[in-house]
Amino acid sequence: MSFRNSTSGGQSPAARITQEIISRLDAGTRPWVKPWRGVPVSRPLRACGTPYRGMNVFWLWMIADMCGYTSPFWMTYNQAQKLGGQVRKGEKSTIAIFYKSYTRQVEEPASGDSIEEARRVLKAYPVFNADQVDGLPARFHPAASLELVEPEGREQALDAFFARIPAELRHQGDEAYYEPIADRITMPRAHLFSGFDHYYATLAHELSHWTGHASRLARDLGNRFGSAAYAAEELIAELSSAMLGAELGLPVTHLDSHASYIDHWLKLLRDDDRAILTAAARAEEASSLLLNLAGREVAGAEEPGDVSLAA
């Protein structure tokens, strides 16, 4: 599979990731919609158990789905060995990404003075899924759940989670949408959905839009359908609701109405190979705000520059 292994042919990590996502979108598949397949819902995890953040979440989900991996854990070759494991012969690595910060001295054009300029450069390093490694402790291979009945109290737990988020919410009609000027979410009543989890998955999408209001994360929400900014905002909400789905065990595969945006997302990604990274970063901000407002936190800071820590 050519999308795996370390960077080759001079193609940047951003370009490689974007090209693979474009290929999936061209096929009509949204690669951030995770088919959980009965395994525990999780973000991708580093060897230490800390969740990945930002674009690594969706990239590693996509690779796991394409390769059939069920473990959420990813690690470097050296980490696997330190844990008593051995990467199987013939297994190929994939990349995880991080930003490395640099400073350099440059000349200030107006005065000619030397000033310090900070830069952040996207880097990549190779990781393996735990399913590619023999001899790891059992905790790296969580057992698949065969439970077909929702755990007792789950609906009440979701009720309590979303009730803590101070958004204005009204129930009427048969459409779900967020109004930036009124700063209000409208939802169909819960009994119109096929299950309470689908109701809350849809609410998570609209709340992700709500985070972009000028009084919160101040994203550009005033654009018309078909514009690049509109497509980007819908992409951010999709990615944010997928992140919330991973934290709360909510489905996102039923959001078929958003498939109409795929053509707009394709144009957005083809025009800018870093657009998906930016959208993922904004989605991380949106989902983190909602989780914090509801009293939950996601472990792990921004992807660090130190590869020994990043994996």
Structural domain includes residue 8: no
Q: Which structural domain range is residue 24 located in? A: 13-310
**Beta carbons of 300 and 48 less than 8 angstroms apart:** no
Question: Distance (Å, rounded) from C-alpha 221 to C-alpha 168?
Answer: 17
Residue ranges for the chain with pLDDT beneath 70: 1-10, 34-41, 144-151, 224-226, 252-260, 298-311
Place of tokens 């654009």: 223
CA distances from 286 to 72, 217, 236, 281 (A): 23, 8, 8, 9
Structural domain includes residue 54: yes
- Centre a 10 Å sphere on the Cβ of residue 94 and count the other Cβ atoms it contains: 24
Q: Check residue 21 and give its pLDDT.
A: 92
**Beta carbons of 104 and 116 less than 8 angstroms apart:** yes
Q: Check residue 226 and give its pLDDT.
A: 66
Q: Check residue 144 and give its pLDDT.
A: 67
Q: How far is CA 77 from the centre of its chain?
A: 24
Question: Distance (Å, rounded) from C-alpha 122 to C-alpha 109?
Answer: 27
The neighbouring-strand residues paired with 274 are none
Structural domain includes residue 1: no
Question: Distance (Å, rounded) from C-alpha 181 to C-alpha 214?
Answer: 10
CA distances from 234 to 93, 165, 239, 240, 257 (A): 32, 21, 9, 10, 12
Question: Distance (Å, rounded) from C-alpha 257 to C-alpha 260?
Answer: 7
Q: What are phi and psi of 288, to 5 degrees?
A: -65, -40
Q: Check residue 157 and give its pLDDT.
A: 92
Q: Check residue 306 and give its pLDDT.
A: 35
pLDDT digits (tens, 9 = 90+) for 72-119: 999 999 999 999 999 999 999 999 999 888 777 777 777 777 777 777
Q: Check residue 286 and give its pLDDT.
A: 97
Q: Check residue 219 and give its pLDDT.
A: 94
Structural domain includes residue 215: yes
Q: Check residue 6 and give its pLDDT.
A: 41
Q: What are phi and psi of 22, to 5 degrees?
A: -60, -40
**Beta carbons of 190 and 196 less than 8 angstroms apart:** yes
Residue 284's closest CA among 237, 230, 220?
237
Q: Check residue 254 and give its pLDDT.
A: 52
Structural domain includes residue 6: no
Q: Check residue 278 and give its pLDDT.
A: 94
Dihedral angle sign, alpha carbons of residues 177, 171, 205, 266: negative
Q: Check residue 9 and give its pLDDT.
A: 53
Question: Distance (Å, rounded) from C-alpha 243 to C-alpha 42?
Answer: 9
Q: Check residue 104 and give its pLDDT.
A: 76
Structural domain includes residue 220: yes
Label the pairing between strands 168-171 and 177-179.
unpaired
**Beta carbons of 74 and 45 less than 8 angstroms apart:** yes
Interior/surface letters 181-200, b for 16+ CB within 10 angstroms, e for the rest: eeeebbbeebeebeebbbbb
Q: Check residue 82 and give its pLDDT.
A: 97
- Strands, sheet with 114-129, edge to edge from the N-terminal-most edge strand: 45-46, 73-75, 114-129, 94-107
Structural domain includes residue 3: no
- Indicate the number of domains in the chain: 1
Structural domain includes residue 23: yes
Q: Check residue 18 and give its pLDDT.
A: 94
